[in-house]
Amino acid sequence: MITRTRTPFQRTRRTRRSAALRGLVRETRVDPAQLVYPLFVTHGLDVRAPIASMPGQARLSSDQLAREAEELRALGVRAVLLFGIPVAKDAAGSEGYAADGIVPQAIRALKDADPELAVIVDVCLCEYTDHGHCGLLDARGDVDNDASLELLARAAVTYAEAGADVIAPSDMMDGRVGALRDALDDAGHETLPIMAYSAKYASAFYGPFREAADSAPRMGAGDRRGYQMDPANAREALREVAADVAEQADIVMVKPALAYLDVIREVRAATALPLAAYNVSGEYAMVKAAAAQGWLDERAIVLETLTAIRRAGADIVITYHAKEAARWLTER
Ligand code: PBG
């Protein structure tokens, strides 16, 4: 019987022997205060319209937001990311920057319900345009970068006036962080932070979101590959981040998260800014679908996933799982 090998080896199992020891040596933790819960807001009263491809998520009318705020506070989730669904869409996405639009209404409802909740607001035109692109289209049907900046800046200022705590541009136009920063400063909002969707990829993982926001691109270039990043590129993500840092972004983001953990890791090494990762709708839908079949242990999968995103280097995780994860984290 061999009791010892002659070759020395490490007994790494020693610190795995009990939950207490594992807790001491654990390198990464997930805290509900690091999670951001996305919310889809729609016009109307008493609306909680389920989103078929995102089980557990719904489009909510503003009157439902106080209930959400209360629930999030109890769970220790302290931030939301707002998306608006307008009454009507048009070529210029006008409800996106209207002072009485759905998003300003929702911001006020949330701040009334809980002034301490961090209300992060997505800035983009795709939810508001009838063609579904993230900016204005020119005569050829291409997205006109510089003309779009002006409208995005108007949206940012509108949300700031309504009481937003963080402005989060997701449109991927060049120069948008600087344009929004200038517009916010000019309007007296120099203390309002910008969370830039810096490395946002042209991803099929956004499919369910586009159902939720009814924002699939319909005209011109039929997809977003002309402005969102090519999934094949990682070095380019560092250029995007550097550009946003130079334009005074306060938080940068990598999106999606799971197929891009390497990008999260590289961005983490390249900047000292806080880094967010977006665990997107398709990632959520896959887990929900498999869990519904009984093929995966949902709780274990979600906690492992969020831990992995944090381990890769994200400080902040935007996730539709935020509420259930916060519940599981506190009872564990
Ligand atoms: C808006 C926007 C999108 C998402 C966040 N902001 C959709 C897109 O770019 O097509 C996706 C979020 C998700 O899939 O959960 N531009």
Sequence-separated contacts (24+) of 73-76 with Cβ below 8 Å? 73/114, 73/116, 73/117, 75/32, 75/323, 75/326, 75/327, 75/330, 76/31, 76/32, 76/33, 76/326, 76/330
- CB of 279 closer than 6 angstroms to any ligand 1 atom: no
Closest CA to 193 of 229, 164, 222, 224: 164
Does residue 21 belong to any structural domain of this protein?
Answer: no
For helices 145-162 and 176-186, the axis angle rounded to 10 degrees is: 40
Percent over 70 (pLDDT), the chain: 97
Please tell me the number of Cα atoms within 13 Å of 149 on its side-chain side: 14
- Label the pairing between strands 48-50 and 58-61: antiparallel
Q: How far is the CA of 108 from the centre of ligand 1 (A)?
A: 23
- CB of 126 closer than 6 angstroms to any ligand 1 atom: yes
Does residue 11 belong to any structural domain of this protein?
Answer: no
Is residue 288 annotated as part of the catalytic site, yes or no?
no
Q: Please choose from 83, 129, 131, 170 the residue to mutate so as to test ligand 1's pocket, defined by most ligand atoms within 8 A of CB.
A: 170
Q: Please choose from 206, 225, 318 the residue to mutate so as to test ligand 1's pocket, defined by most ligand atoms within 8 A of CB.
A: 206
DSSP string, 249-305: -SEEEEESSGGGHHHHHHHHHH--S-EEEEE-HHHHHHHHHHHHTTSS-HHHHHHHH
Q: What atom of ligand 1 comes closest to residue 282's alpha carbon?
A: 14
Does residue 3 belong to any structural domain of this protein?
Answer: no
**Residue 317 pLDDT:** 99
> Measured between alpha carbons, how far is 316 from 32 in angstroms, rounded to an integer?
10
Is residue 255 annotated as part of the catalytic site, yes or no?
yes
Does residue 117 belong to any structural domain of this protein?
Answer: yes
Mean pLDDT of successive 10-residue stretches along the chain, which has 332 residues: 77 97 98 98 97 98 98 98 96 95 98 98 96 93 95 98 98 97 98 98 96 80 88 98 98 98 98 98 98 98 98 98 97 78
Taking CA atoms only, the protein residue closest to ligand 1 atom 2 is 170
> Measured between alpha carbons, how far is 161 from 163 in angstroms, rounded to an integer?
5
Burial 278-290 (b: 16+ CB within 10 A, else e): bbbbbbbbebbee
Does residue 107 belong to any structural domain of this protein?
Answer: yes
- CB of 209 closer than 6 angstroms to any ligand 1 atom: yes
> Measured between alpha carbons, how far is 20 from 27 in angstroms, rounded to an integer?
14
CATH number at residue 149: 3.20.20.70
- CB of 280 closer than 6 angstroms to any ligand 1 atom: yes
Tell me if the bond preceding 256 is cis, omega within 30° of 0: yes
- CB of 170 closer than 6 angstroms to any ligand 1 atom: yes
- CB of 120 closer than 6 angstroms to any ligand 1 atom: no
> Measured between alpha carbons, how far is 308 from 314 in angstroms, rounded to an integer?
9
**Out of 89, 111, 200, 323, which one is annotated catalytic?**
200
Does residue 9 belong to any structural domain of this protein?
Answer: no
Taking CA atoms only, the protein residue closest to ligand 1 atom 11 is 206
- CB of 206 closer than 6 angstroms to any ligand 1 atom: yes
Domain hosting residue 209, numbered range: 28-331
Closest CA to 228 of 126, 91, 86: 126
Does residue 8 belong to any structural domain of this protein?
Answer: no
Neighbour-count burial of 49, counting CB atoms closer than 10 A to its CB (0-12 exposed, 13-18 middle, 19+ buried): middle
- CB of 122 closer than 6 angstroms to any ligand 1 atom: yes
Count the Cβ atoms, other than its own, within 10 Å of residue 276: 27
Closest CA to 212 of 90, 55, 35: 55
Q: Please choose from 51, 54, 124, 281 the residue to mutate so as to test ligand 1's pocket, defined by most ligand atoms within 8 A of CB.
A: 124
Give the chain's length.
Answer: 332
Does residue 132 belong to any structural domain of this protein?
Answer: yes
Q: What is the pTM of this model?
A: 0.96
Q: How far is the CA of 209 from the centre of ligand 1 (A)?
A: 6
> Measured between alpha carbons, how far is 33 from 60 in angstroms, rounded to an integer?
23
pLDDT digits (tens, 9 = 90+) for 201-235: 999 999 999 988 888 887 655 689 999 999 999 99
Q: How many domains does the chain have?
A: 1
- CB of 284 closer than 6 angstroms to any ligand 1 atom: no
Q: What atom of ligand 1 comes closest to residue 200's alpha carbon?
A: 9
**Out of 111, 255, 288, 323, which one is annotated catalytic?**
255
